[in-house]
Amino acid sequence: KQEVTQIPAALSVPEGENLVLNCSFTDSAIYNLQWFRQDPGKGLTSLLLIQSSQREQTSGRLNASLDKSSGRSTLYIAASQPGDSATYLCAGKAAGNKLTFGGGTRVLVKP
Amino acid sequence: GAVVSQHPSRVICKSGTSVKIECRSLDFQATTMFWYRQFPKQSLMLMATSNEGSKATYEQGVEKDKFLINHASLTLSTLTVTSAHPEDSSFYICSAPIRYAGVLQDTQYFGPGTRLTVL
């Protein structure tokens, strides 16, 4: 059974610092790994999707890497802004289109 | 991008009543939808897979008689929490992938969620 873990559970940084969010998964037989953003009381917004055959994906200030052999993915957010404050969730996709989510990392970017 | 809506966004009910939550795909047809539950400061847990025109598939530990799922059309799935109790209070979120050329695509579009509070 796939288990997804995110460390740290919470992170607070001053504006301008780079953010590094970690995600680990136990079953390397994933189809893809996705990163989502969730604002308080809201649904999820997809940020990046990395296919199992890829090593990384980039979108603007966001970069996500995937290392299947070690069961890890990392989300980098460059030059953080207060608007980046949210909870970030990673999820591994298995057969049947099912997503297994990590516990999330709550990020606070202080102005 | 594709849009998924949920209604209501927030509901408060008395213990023992039933509550229906709707999940709609607004600009695409969704033959498959997923229902998740999220407790405060916890992650999303998949409850069930809703399939248009057939029975839902429930995850282990989820009571199908308590969480009734109906997917009667290509744009609507409903989750009914029957005889709700305080421990059912949670944030319920649905999602739907787009099917293209008969294949479910990787990207899932999530609804904004429904906050259920059972008194």
Of A4-13, A16-25, A91-100, B108-117, the poorest mean pLDDT is in: A91-100
Whether the per-residue pLDDT at A74 is higher than 90: the answer is yes
Q: A76 CB near a chain B CB, below 8 Å? A: no
Distance CA A105, CA A88 (A): 5
Distance CA A99, CA A4 (A): 10
Q: What is the mean pLDDT of residues A24-49?
A: 91
For B10, nearest residue in chain A (alpha carbons): A41
Residue A42 has its nearest CB partner, among B46, B97, B112, at B112
Whether the per-residue pLDDT at A2 is higher than 70: the answer is yes
Would you mind telling me the total number of residues written for chain B in this entry?
A: 119
pLDDT band of B27, cuts 50, 70, 90: confident
Would you mind telling me the total number of residues written for chain A in this entry?
A: 111
Residue B93 to chain A, least CA–CA distance (Å): 7
For B43, nearest residue in chain A (alpha carbons): A103
Q: What is the mean pLDDT of residues A78-94?
A: 95
- Looking at residue A102, what is its pLDDT? 95
- Looking at residue B97, what is its pLDDT? 87
Distance CA A97, CA A64 (A): 21
What percent of chain A has pLDDT above 90? Answer: 82
Q: A43 CB near a chain B CB, below 8 Å? A: yes
- Looking at residue B1, what is its pLDDT? 64
Burial B12-25, CB ≥16 within 10 A → b, else e: ebeeeeebebbbbb
Comparison of pLDDT for B99 and A37, the residue scoring more: A37
Helix/strand/coil (H/E/C) assignment for every residue in B27-95? CCCCCEEEEEEECCCCCEEEEEEEECCCCCEECCCCCCCCEEEEEEECCEEEEEECCCCHHHCEEEEEE
The amino acid at A70: S
pLDDT band of B82, cuts 50, 70, 90: very high
Residue A95 φ then ψ, to 5°? -60, 150
Say yes or no for a CB contact (<8 Å) between B97 and A97.
yes
Q: B45 CB near a chain A CB, below 8 Å? A: yes
Say yes or no for a CB contact (<8 Å) between B106 and A31.
yes
Q: What is the mean pLDDT of residues B18-41?
A: 92
Q: What is the mean pLDDT of residues A32-47?
A: 92
